Structure 1
Amino acid sequence: MKFLLVDDHALFRHGLRELLCRLAGNHVFVEAENCAVALAEVSAHPDIDLILLDLALPDLNGLDGLVRLRELCPTTPVVLLSANENSHIIVDGLRRGAQGFIPKSSSIDEMTAALKQVLAGEIYVPMIGMVGRAEPPDENRTLTVRQREVLALLVKNLSNKEIADALGMRVNTVRVHVAAILKILDVENRNDAARVALGMGVANGG
């Protein structure tokens, strides 16, 4: 596998290499100390399998960098790394297409588990209680109890019919709930809604 490590601290990149060497078999590392270099490396290495992106880069805000990377390589998973653990940042990153978020304060075991999950193709976010709370949502954008139930099942990749059967409602009613959820979360599709839901803790009944 080929990894792009984007962080302005060489020591942290070294630590990531050490962890990934334990988890991955054949591996190649490409490194960048800022977003400009990262964008150039992505253009030079279109076969990168995973990007680990620090949010606090010296030349560009990490979330803006995420958007730029997604434009260049829309199918390559990007995992965010940051010392800023506010859940508002996490949800915003997931909404913009990140595959996960790993706090820099994570222990070696926590980071190892997170990387394993990401390498398995899953989305990783820390438990909602491990991060700072986001700003209170606008009252008009808050999900109803029923919408949160639908979203929790949507995260499990259930179809509208399966959700309807599980919750005892009509399929058309589920469609209405899903459309409302996408609008409230400001996302375009079910996959993006699932990413945001994980950041919100909805999948765990949060």
Structure 2
Amino acid sequence: MTSVSPSAGVEKARVLIADDHPLFRTAMHNVIDAVYHDAEFIEASDLDEMMSLAAGAELDLVVLDLNIPGATGFCGLVQLRNELPNVPVVVVSADEGADVAHDAITYGAVGYIPKSLTMDAMVKALNHVIGGGVYLPPTDAKDGKRKGTLSEKDLRFAERVESLSAQQRVVLQMLVEGRPNKQIAYLLDVTESTVKAHVSAILRKLDVQSRTQAVICAGKLSLQAPHHPLSERSVRH
């Protein structure tokens, strides 16, 4: 996972906040200022504005609401990670479902922060991310999982998934859905040979021997498809 560091009095940290609620964006200013101390903020209220601002931008951090207008499922996160592969993205959301949080990490976020958290808890979460960690909200004690972080095994697999290109993540998503190569090729408007090349690359990067193993491993992180499949038009090569 990429780690970031607060600016040490040399340059202000540049943070993009993508959320359509002005009051929440203002609240995030206070949270981020507590971490970066005098950050420079860039704001977007919908997907198109976010991608326009992100194009070629030099940023230290992106805070993204998964449900920003124009985004469906995880497509906003996927597009952002493809545009800014080296910039940490922290997802904020009103959805507190454990599966959604894990999926966000699988798709490349370094943290998932519920909007219901207190300001102090959000500050701690961002500090954890800045220190190079991966933040997930606390889980129920009965689950037996470490609160606020992935298990070491899941973290290693999440890191391997993050190494996939945006297009490879979409192909992996469709493998999890049980789609054959021919259907994947049709949905993405590419040739079957291109799909086969993507599958081979996915298996190599995930360090598994078969597509069945890839699907099983992805299932451990609750990898699920967005409500509407991503298409070639919504993911840059």
Q: Taking structure 2 as the reference length, what is the TM-score of the superposition?
A: 0.57
Q: Classify the secondary structure of the residue corresponding to 2:90.
A: strand
Give how far 1:92 is off.
1.4
CA deviation string 1:7-48 (max 9, x = no partner): 000110001111211221352111101111110011152x11
Amino acid at match of 2:34: R
% identical equivalent positions: 31
* Contact in 2 for aligned 1:78/1:99 (Cα 8 Å): yes
Q: Does 1:83 align with 2:112?
A: no
Whether 1:101 aligns to 2:101 is: no
Q: What is the aligned partner in structure 2 of residue 179 from structure 1?
A: 208
Residues 34 and 123 in structure 2, CA contact (< 8 A), matched pair in contact too: no
> Structure 1 residue aligned with 2:35, among 19, 23, 36?
23
Counterpart CA distance in 2 for 1:81 and 1:150 is 23
Q: Higher RCO, 1 or 2 (CA under 8 Å, sep at least 6)?
A: 2
The aligned runs of 1:86-165 (5 Å cut-off) are 86-129=97-140, 151=153, 154=156
CA contact (8 A) 1:2 1:28 kept: yes
Is the aligned partner of 1:51 residue 2:53? no
The residue number in structure 2 matching 1:41 is 53
Question: 1-side partners of 2:73 and 2:41: how far apart?
Answer: 20
The CA distance in 2 between the partners of 1:88 and 1:98, in whole Å, is 14
Contact 2:31 2:123 in 1 (8 A): yes
3-state DSSP class of the match of 2:113?
strand
Structure 1's unaligned 5+ residue stretches are: 134-148, 158-177, 188-192, 198-206
Q: Is the 8 A contact 2:14 2:61 kept in 1?
A: yes
Q: Structure 1 residues 22 and 34 mapped into 2: Cα distance closer, same or farther (>3 Å)?
A: same
Instruction: Give the 4+ runs in structure 1 shifted more than 3 A.
Output: 152-155, 178-183
Residues 79 and 62 from structure 1, CA distance in 2 versus in 1: closer, same or farther, beyond 3 angstroms? farther
On the 8 A contact 2:60/2:87 being kept in 1, the answer is yes
Partner of residue 71, structure 2: 60
Unpaired stretches in structure 2, ≥5 consecutive residues? 1-12, 144-150, 160-206, 223-237
Equivalent AA in structure 2 for residue 78 of structure 1: V
1:75 aligns to what SS in structure 2? coil
Counterpart of 1:146 in structure 2 is none
2 CA distance for matches of 1:66 and 1:154? 20
RMSD between superposed Cα atoms in Å: 2.9
